[in-house]
Amino acid sequence: MFSLQNKTAIVTGGGSGIGKAISILFARQGADVYILDLDETGATAVCREIIEAGGMASFRKCNVSDSAEVKTVVEGIHRLTGSIHILVNNAGIAHVGTIESTEENDLDRLISVNIKGVYNCSKHVIPLMKATGGAILNMASIASSVGIPDRFAYSMTKGAVVGMTLSIAKDYLSSNIRCNCISPARVHTPFVDGFIAKNYPGREAEMFEKLSRTQPIGRMAEPSEIAALALYLCSDEASFVTGSDYPIDGGFIYLNN
């Protein structure tokens, strides 16, 4: 089950965190993985890890907010492989602030990556995916479903990701292209560690424990747990699943009383 043999997968933001875990797992399950990222050091290291484990991975430096750049990279992958079966729109950035403290340039920055990045990659992959069908998976957030303090711009952009997911799923039913999204709660990634170190110096352990307890289950998710759900949704076993937003949140949405 959950084999990705003979499938080509594009993973954006695959150089660290959730994207890294997805890239490694997909390659382990047989996919030829192409990582699109601006972090050449991180993405190259992930590719090396995959190849040393016997898998196939390749890095393409790409700014997902640049439509022309995405088009060139995606079409190059298609020429090389002949098909693209899976697109994981994982690349994203965060911002802390209310509407009052969020400046216009902050909003523009999040829109360019979190919304336009999904738009650009999907727009240029879908015409190439029509021949074989395929699966598109977008990374949303519980912030698209519930109110999170000081996350105005982030919540707004992740809400747009859910909307795009539903629209793509509806429009491409006849092309056998499925589109779903995942909404994680807090995941223990290098971003979280960096955020705590920057904002709470000397209190890292205390704040890590406090943030962990915001999930009713009592801890943050591990990137590998998000990757496992991503694998299911992009595999043939999920061929009846489209237009769905999957919370993976340790009970945050429904049990956080």
Active-site residue list:
154
Paired tokens of 26: 């997909």
* Rounded distance between C-alpha atoms, residue 64 and residue 36, angstroms: 8
Give me 204's structure tokens.
């890292």
State how far the alpha carbon of 27 is from the alpha carbons of 39, 43, 76, 108, in Å: 19, 14, 20, 34
Q: Which residues pair with 97 in a beta bridge?
A: 151
Closest CA to 17 of 158, 137, 191: 191
User: Are 222 and 192 within 8 A, CB to CB?
Assistant: no
- Closest Cα to residue 110, out of 69, 161, 59? 161
Q: Is the dihedral of CA 234, 235, 236, 237 positive or negative?
A: negative
Contact at 8 Å (CB) between 185 and 140? no
Those residues with Cβ within 8 angstroms of residue 186's Cβ, 6 or more apart along the chain or in another chain? 192, 211, 212, 214, 215, 220, 221
CA atoms 194, 198, 200, 205: torsion sign: positive
